[in-house]
C-alpha cells in the first residue's frame, strides 16, 4: 500500500514536469505571436534598486527619485537636458537685495492629482511641514532638507545647526514668499531639489504623511509615502507591486503642462546589471540606466540608443594630510598631480565622452575658472618636487572600494591600478588597500581618515559651486585631514555668502584658482557622462545631467 502511494507520487511528479514543459512551449509560442500590440501605451524602464518610498522629502537616492520625479514637481526646475534653472511650479521668482526673501509667482490652473488646487497656501504648507517636522526618525531621514536649511524648528540632534528657514507667506493665491534668516548661495538651485517637491496638503494630512515611526532598528513610513503619494506631475501613482518588483505610474489627464504621451510607465526593478541588459535585448524593457562603459559600444552596434548625459560629476584622488606629514607639503601634493597621466586614464578607462578635470566642478557651473592652474602630465616635474620636499620613495596607503560602481567611477579597481602605476613610476611606493564600499571603505576614509590617498567622487544635485566645492572643502573633514587649511574654509564660506551675482562668480572663480594652485587638498581626475540606454523605438527621452529624466515626453512606437 505504501509502495503504491510512492508510485503514484512519482507519477504525479512526472506529469507535473511534463505539464510544465508543455505550458512553457505554449507560452513561448504565445509570446512570439503578438506582444507588440500592447507596447504602444506603456514605457517599461528597468530600475536598478528599490525606491525607499514616494514621499519626496524623505528621499535622497536616484532609485527613489526616478518615480518621484514623474509624480511631483518643484518650484523651479532645470531646462531639459541641462543644469540651467528655469521655472517649474513657479513661473518666475526673484529675491530681494539681501537675498533672504524669495518671491515666487506661481503657475495658474495647476491641480494636484487628488483634484485640489495648487496655490501659495499649498507651497507654504509644504515648507512649514518640513521645518516643523519632529522625531528622530523623520529628522534623520530628511538629508537634503538639512543640507539646504541646516536644521529644524526643534532639532532632535544636539549637534544640528539653527535652521535658516524663517517663514513662508501666501501673499495671494499665486504668490508665495519664502523668507530665510541668512542668504545662501545654494538658492535658487536648491529649490529644484526633488526632495523639496510640493505635495498635496490634503493628501499629506489625510494619509498621515508626518507619521514616521521607529520600530526596532528601522523606520516605518506613512500611507502617503507608501501607497498614496499625491503631487502635480504628469503621472499619478498606480501602485508598487513588491512581489513582482514593479512600480506603475499612470498618465495624469489633467496635467497643466505637456501631458504624458504614454498611458503608463512601469519601472521594473532589476538589480543585476547583466539581467537588465538581457531584458533590454529580449525587448521586455525599453530602457536601462548606467550601462557599464565596456558595454556601450556593443549596445550601440546592436541598435540601441545610448544617450550620454552631460557630465555633472567629478572623480577625484583624495589626499589625507593627517597620517603622512609629508602630504601636508604643497610640493608633494603638486608632485602627485604631475605624476598622474589623466589624459591617458580618460582615454583607456573612462566612459566615452569623459574629459580630464582640472577643477572640482564641471565647467557649466557658475564660478568655474578657465585660467586655474592645470597640472599636465610630467613625471620629471613630479620627481623633482618630491626631491625638493624630501619625499622620494615614500609609501602611500591608497584606499579604494573594489565592489561598487558609481556614475563617476564605473570600475574603481581599474582606476586605482592605473593611478598607482603612475605614482610608482615616479618612485613612490603604493600600498593598495581595498575595502568594501559599505563595509569599511566609507568608514575608514570619511570617518576615521585611515588612508593617505583614495578615490571618490560626487554627482551634483543642483547648479551651484557650493554643492561641489563647498561639499568637499567647505569645512575640515577626516577625508582630507585638512583642519589646518582655515584660509580655504573661510574663502569658501565667503564665496557662498556673496549675494550679488557678479561678485559671487568672481569669488568662486578665485576659490577655484586658489584650490588649484595654493591649497590642492585633492586632485581632480575626470568628469564622466553617465549614460541611459533605450530601444530604438523610444523617442523623446531627453537625457539629463542631473539624471532627472522626465518620462512625459517619451513615446514608444510598436515597431
Q: Which of residues 82-111 bind another protein (CB under 8 A)?
A: none
**Residue selected from 82, 103, 116, 140 as contacting another protein according to rule CB under 8 A:** 140
Identity of the residue, 140 or 373, whose beta carbon is nearer to another protein in the bound complex: 140
Between 41 and 80, how does the x/- string for binding to another protein read (CB under 8 A)? -x-x----xx-xx------xx-------------------
**Residue selected from 121, 143, 223, 394 as contacting another protein according to rule CB under 8 A:** 143
Cα gap 88→155, rounded to integer Å:
30
Please, are residues 553 and 349 in contact by the beta-carbon 8 Å criterion?
A: no
Helix (H, G, I), strand (E, B) or coil at 111: strand
**Residue selected from 37, 218, 301, 559 as contacting another protein according to rule CB under 8 A:** 218
CB of 465 to another protein, least distance (A): 18
> Using CB under 8 A, which of the segments 22-30, 165-173, 180-188, 491-499 binds another protein?
22-30
Q: Which of residues 234-263 bind another protein (CB under 8 A)?
A: 241-246, 248
**Residue selected from 147, 202, 210, 537 as contacting another protein according to rule CB under 8 A:** 147
Q: Does residue 141 bind another protein (CB under 8 A)? A: yes
Q: Which is nearest to 317 in space by CA: 526, 518, 523?
A: 523
How many Cβ atoms sit within 10 Å of the Cβ of residue 101? 16
**Residue selected from 103, 175, 179, 284 as contacting another protein according to rule CB under 8 A:** 284
**Residue selected from 120, 270, 420, 541 as contacting another protein according to rule CB under 8 A:** 270
Please, are residues 105 and 91 in contact by the beta-carbon 8 Å criterion?
A: yes
Cell of 15: 506529469
Report phi then psi at 401, rounded to 5. -100, 115
Identity of the residue, 53 or 463, whose beta carbon is nearer to another protein in the bound complex: 53
Element (H, E) at 437: none
CB of 26 to another protein, least distance (A): 6
Q: Does residue 182 bind another protein (CB under 8 A)? A: no
Q: Which is nearest to 92 in space by CA: 31, 32, 174, 150?
A: 174
Cell 530602457 belongs to which residue? 287
Identity of the residue, 99 or 521, whose beta carbon is nearer to another protein in the bound complex: 521
CB of 209 to another protein, least distance (A): 14
188 cis-preceded (ω within 30 degrees of 0): yes
Q: Which is nearest to 309 in space by CA: 85, 45, 535, 545?
A: 545
Identity of the residue, 10 or 558, whose beta carbon is nearer to another protein in the bound complex: 10
Identity of the residue, 258 or 302, whose beta carbon is nearer to another protein in the bound complex: 302
CB of 9 to another protein, least distance (A): 8
Q: Does residue 278 bind another protein (CB under 8 A)? A: yes
Identity of the residue, 386 or 554, whose beta carbon is nearer to another protein in the bound complex: 554
Beta-carbon contacts of residue 203 (< 8 Å; ≥ 6 apart): 112, 114, 116, 209, 224, 228, 229, 230
Buried b (16+ CB within 10 A) or exposed e, 244-253: eebbbbbbbe
Helix, strand, coil distribution of the chain in percent, nearest 5: 40, 20, 40
Element (H, E) at 422: helix 412-425
Identity of the residue, 64 or 232, whose beta carbon is nearer to another protein in the bound complex: 64
Cα gap 455→467, rounded to integer Å:
19
Residues pairing with 251 in the sheet: 235
Size of the site for another protein (CB under 8 A): 85
Q: Which of residues 456-495 bind another protein (CB under 8 A)?
A: 458
Q: Which of residues 285-314 bind another protein (CB under 8 A)?
A: 285
Beta-carbon contacts of residue 77 (< 8 Å; ≥ 6 apart): 85, 86, 87, 88, 192
**Residue selected from 92, 98, 132, 214 as contacting another protein according to rule CB under 8 A:** 214
CB of 283 to another protein, least distance (A): 8
**Residue selected from 323, 395, 447, 517 as contacting another protein according to rule CB under 8 A:** 447
Cell 558609481 belongs to which residue? 406
**Residue selected from 266, 389, 507, 515 as contacting another protein according to rule CB under 8 A:** 266
Q: Does residue 272 bind another protein (CB under 8 A)? A: yes
Q: Does residue 502 bind another protein (CB under 8 A)? A: no
Identity of the residue, 17 or 86, whose beta carbon is nearer to another protein in the bound complex: 17
Identity of the residue, 231 or 457, whose beta carbon is nearer to another protein in the bound complex: 457
Query: How far is CA 116 from each of CA 23, 339, 394, rounded to the nearest angstrom?
Result: 49, 61, 66
Q: Does residue 28 bind another protein (CB under 8 A)? A: yes
Cα gap 201→219, rounded to integer Å:
23
Q: Does residue 268 bind another protein (CB under 8 A)? A: yes
Amino acid at each position: 500500500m505504501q509502495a503504491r502511494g510512492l508510485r503514484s507520487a512519482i507519477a504525479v511528479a512526472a506529469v507535473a514536469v511534463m505539464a510544465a514543459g508543455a505550458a512553457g512551449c505554449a507560452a513561448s509560442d504565445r509570446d512570439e505571436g503578438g506582444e507588440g500590440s500592447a507596447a504602444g501605451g506603456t514605457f517599461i524602464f528597468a530600475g536598478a534598486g528599490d525606491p525607499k518610498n514616494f514621499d519626496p522629502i524623505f528621499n535622497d537616492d536616484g532609485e527613489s527619485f526616478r518615480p518621484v520625479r514623474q509624480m511631483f514637481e518643484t518650484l523651479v526646475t532645470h531646462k531639459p537636458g541641462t543644469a540651467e534653472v528655469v521655472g517649474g511650479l513657479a513661473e518666475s521668482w526673484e529675491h530681494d537685495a539681501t537675498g533672504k526673501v524669495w518671491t515666487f509667482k506661481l503657475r495658474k490652473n495647476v491641480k494636484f492629482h487628488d483634484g485640489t488646487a495648487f496655490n501659495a497656501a499649498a507651497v507654504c504648507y509644504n515648507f512649514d511641514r518640513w521645518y516643523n517636522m519632529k522625531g528622530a526618525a523623520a529628522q534623520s531621514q530628511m538629508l537634503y532638507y538639512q543640507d539646504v536649511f541646516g536644521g529644524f524648528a526643534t532639532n532632535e540632534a544636539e549637534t544640528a545647526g539653527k535652521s535658516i528657514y524663517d517663514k513662508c507667506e501666501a501673499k495671494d493665491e499665486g504668490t508665495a514668499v519664502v523668507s530665510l534668516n541668512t542668504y545662501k548661495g545654494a538658492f535658487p538651485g536648491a529649490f529644484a531639489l526633488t526632495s523639496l517637491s510640493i505635495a498635496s496638503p490634503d493628501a499629506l494630512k489625510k494619509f498621515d504623511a508626518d507619521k514616521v515611526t521607529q520600530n526596532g532598528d528601522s523606520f516605518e513610513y506613512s500611507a502617503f509615502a507608501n501607497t498614496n503619494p499625491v503631487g502635480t506631475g504628469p503621472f499619478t501613482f498606480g501602485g508598487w507591486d513588491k512581489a513582482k518588483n514593479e512600480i506603475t505610474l499612470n498618465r495624469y489627464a489633467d496635467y497643466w503642462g505637456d501631458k504624458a504621451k504614454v498611458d503608463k510607465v512601469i519601472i521594473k526593478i532589476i538589480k543585476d546589471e547583466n539581467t537588465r541588459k538581457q531584458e533590454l535585448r529580449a525587448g521586455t524593457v525599453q530602457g536601462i540606466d548606467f550601462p557599464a562603459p565596456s558595454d556601450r559600444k556593443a549596445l550601440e552596434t546592436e541598435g540601441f540608443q545610448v544617450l550620454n548625459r552631460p557630465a555633472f560629476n567629478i572623480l577625484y584622488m583624495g589626499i589625507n594630510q593627517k597620517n603622512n606629514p609629508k602630504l601636508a607639503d604643497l610640493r608633494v601634493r603638486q608632485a602627485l598631480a604631475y605624476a598622474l597621466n589623466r589624459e591617458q586614464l580618460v582615454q583607456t578607462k573612462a566612459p566615452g565622452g569623459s574629459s580630464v578635470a582640472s577643477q572640482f566642478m564641471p565647467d557649466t557651473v557658475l564660478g568655474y575658472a578657465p585660467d586655474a592652474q592645470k597640472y599636465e602630465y610630467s613625471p620629471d616635474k613630479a620627481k623633482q618636487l618630491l626631491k625638493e620636499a624630501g619625499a622620494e620613495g615614500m609609501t602611500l596607503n591608497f584606499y579604494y572600494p573594489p565592489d561598487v560602481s558609481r556614475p563617476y567611477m564605473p570600475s574603481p579597481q581599474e582606476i586605482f591600478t592605473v593611478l598607482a602605476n603612475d605614482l610608482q613610476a615616479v618612485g613612490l611606493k603604493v600600498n593598495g588597500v581595498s575595502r568594501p564600499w559599505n563595509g569599511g571603505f566609507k568608514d575608514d576614509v570619511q570617518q576615521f581618515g585611515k588612508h593617505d590617498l583614495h578615490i571618490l567622487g560626487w554627482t551634483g544635485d543642483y547648479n551651484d559651486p557650493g554643492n561641489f566645492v563647498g561639499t568637499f572643502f567647505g569645512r575640515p573633514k577626516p577625508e582630507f585631514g585638512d583642519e589646518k587649511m582655515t584660509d580655504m574654509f573661510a574663502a569658501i564660506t565667503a564665496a557662498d555668502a556673496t549675494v550679488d551675482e557678479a561678485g559671487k562668480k568672481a569669488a568662486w572663480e578665485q576659490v577655484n584658482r586658489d584650490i588649484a594652485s595654493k591649497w590642492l587638498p585633492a586632485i581632480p581626475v575626470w568628469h564622466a557622462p553617465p549614460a541611459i540606454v533605450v530601444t530604438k523605438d523610444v523617442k523623446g527621452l531627453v537625457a539629463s545631467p542631473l539624471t532627472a529624466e522626465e518620462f512625459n515626453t517619451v513615446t514608444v512606437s510598436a515597431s
